[in-house]
Amino acid sequence: MTLRNAVMATLLEGEASGYDLAKGFNASVANFWTATPQQLYRELDRMEREGLVTARVVRQDRRPDKRLFSLTDAGHDALRAHLAAPITRPTAIRDGLLVKVQCADIADPTPVQADITAHMDWSRDKLARYERLRERLLAGRTEDEFLAGADRVGPYLTLLRGIAFEEENLRWGELALRVLAARSS
Amino acid sequence: MTLRNAVMATLLEGEASGYDLAKGFNASVANFWTATPQQLYRELDRMEREGLVTARVVRQDRRPDKRLFSLTDAGHDALRAHLAAPITRPTAIRDGLLVKVQCADIADPTPVQADITAHMDWSRDKLARYERLRERLLAGRTEDEFLAGADRVGPYLTLLRGIAFEEENLRWGELALRVLAARSS
DNA sequence: CACACCTATTCAACTTGTTGAGTAAGGAGC
DNA sequence: GCTCCTTACTCAACAAGTTGAATAGGTGTG
């Protein structure tokens, strides 16, 4: 029931196809709400049936048709109702890497180190994309100018959280690699 | 299939009942893998059937009996096999608060501010518990002494990640509150 | 010019995760 | 002595999330 809200939050940026949402979920919302393509297509269908979004089919030349979804007034209302609702539950994280690190001591750490390295690569990629998005949002303004004057600050605030998260992943990854290397030598 | 691994990682610390796991999941693993009580009871039953854990019933005086689970050799092997398996998929986060902040601009920010404040309170609580756990693990040693010499560093490394995460939540929460307050005035 | 990958979506089957209620006994506070 | 909280679980029903495959034309690489 909350994937809906994440989808509607994304559609505030403008219309999007299921496919658009699927790959990157607009790159910014994906940072705090993940979903598979099937989940999104299914949810968009339901939301259309309930009148929260409308679809318009766009015929394309050298590509399959696509259905671009946008928020209806009812969708806007539903989002506002969600915002007004009292409390959101605590963050749910599921991080398989940390599960591995938690028990890294019971076996050869080499594969865990490889895993940490792979995750750090992903973090670097994400950071690069986030920084590009940030430049685009700022559009030449300083952060203070932007925060004081922009129409919408929500996407920027969540972006900052995402950047901090990935930066912390990198810092922690370096520490973890250092510690595991020192012990296995 | 990975709740299993999180449960086994926790049982490395020693035997535990479903109830123990349910409240706090050992307080440290809970930080990167959440699960409801029902999920844990169900999974523990399955794992017992598959021989990954064994249960022993402990009769108690003024409390209901409990079943304490511990890892079997097969469980240890399964954990080691998991550690050796190549790559763990990227972290899945689902943070309803960030969804709200993402669209905070379309309505009165007051309830969102309340939500941020509530989350910051939770973060402070978690941080306090993490810091106590940290003191207990260090047992008087400095961090460097501990990391060089301790039997197991995994739980400490994941704890550090949890601490950094909650500290970042607080820093970000303060910023978000400041920005939203400045705009609504 | 074969092979793999990208866009764009759908269908079906499955596994996980969530919600709510129920049981049963002890202890704490008013 | 009434109510609520805590320990310790179980059952059932449902919602959400995952996996795998199918379709179908287009683009890019060796």
A163 to chain B, any CB pair closer than 8 A? The answer is no
- State the pLDDT at residue B88: 78
Burial level of A19, CB count in 10 A (0-12/13-18/19+)?
Answer: middle
Percent of chain A with pLDDT over 90: 79
Picking from B175, B85, B6, B16, the residue whose alpha carbon sits closest to that of residue A95 is: B6
Based on the domain organization, do A102 and A179 belong to the same domain?
yes
- List chain B residues with pLDDT less than 50: none
Largest CA distance in chain A: 62
Cα angle A106, B144, B91; round to 5: 55
Q: What CATH number is attached to the domain comprising A47?
A: 1.10.10.10
Based on the domain organization, do B158 and B105 belong to the same domain?
yes
- Tell if the CB–CB gap between B29 and A94 is shorter than 8 Å: no
Q: Is strand D in 7 Å reach of the CB of A17?
A: no
Q: Which of B92, B152, B182 sits opposite A34 (nearest CB)?
A: B92
Q: Tens digits of per-residue pLDDT, A37-50?
A: 999 999 999 999 99
A to B CB pairs, distance under 8 Å:
228
What are the C-alpha distances in Å from A122 to residues A94, A116, A173, B31? 16, 10, 12, 21
Based on the domain organization, do B70 and B113 belong to the same domain?
no
Out of A53, A84, A115, pick the residue that ends a domain: A84
How far from the centroid of its chain's Cα atoms is residue B156's Cα? 13
Q: Tens digits of per-residue pLDDT, A85-138?
A: 887 788 889 999 999 999 999 999 999 999 999 999 999 989 999 999 999 999
| A180 within a domain of the structure (yes/no) | yes
Based on the domain organization, do A105 and A74 belong to the same domain?
no
| B54 within a domain of the structure (yes/no) | yes
Judge contact between B43 and B4, C-beta under 8 A. yes
Based on the domain organization, do B69 and B127 belong to the same domain?
no
Q: Is the pLDDT of residue A178 over 80?
A: yes
Task: Please state, in angstroms and rounded to a whole number, the distance separating the CA atoms of residues A39 and A27.
Answer: 17
Out of A84, A116, A142, pick the residue that ends a domain: A84
| A91 within a domain of the structure (yes/no) | no
- State the pLDDT at residue B23: 86
- State the pLDDT at residue B136: 92
Mean pLDDT for chain B overall: 92
Q: Where are the alpha helices (DSSP H) in chain A?
A: 3-11, 18-22, 37-49, 73-84, 96-102, 110-138, 143-149, 154-184
Q: In what order do the strands lie in the sheet with B16-17?
A: B16-17, B66-71, B53-58
Based on the domain organization, do B100 and B136 belong to the same domain?
yes
Kindly report the bases of strand D lying within 7 A of a protein C-beta atom.
Answer: 7-13, 15-21, 24-27
Task: Please state, in angstroms and rounded to a whole number, the distance separating the CA atoms of residues B185 and B175.
Answer: 16
- State the pLDDT at residue A26: 66
Based on the domain organization, do B120 and B48 belong to the same domain?
no
**Interface probe with A: pick from B32, B43, B95, B165, most Cβ of A within 10 Å:** B95
Based on the domain organization, do A22 and A50 belong to the same domain?
yes
- Tell if the CB–CB gap between A80 and B9 is shorter than 8 Å: no
- State the pLDDT at residue A91: 87
Q: Is strand C in 7 Å reach of the CB of B63?
A: yes
| B91 within a domain of the structure (yes/no) | no
Judge contact between B128 and B175, C-beta under 8 A. no
Task: Report the length, in residues, of chain A.
Answer: 185
Contacts of B111 in chain A (CB under 8 A): 83-86
Task: Please state, in angstroms and rounded to a whole number, the distance separating the CA atoms of residues B114 and B185.
Answer: 16
| B116 within a domain of the structure (yes/no) | yes
CA distance between the termini of chain A:
49
Q: Tens digits of per-residue pLDDT, A38-85?
A: 999 999 999 999 999 999 998 887 778 899 999 999 999 999 999 998
- State the pLDDT at residue B159: 96
A105 to chain B, any CB pair closer than 8 A? The answer is yes
Domain that includes residue B68, residue range: 3-84
| Number of domains comprising chain B | 2
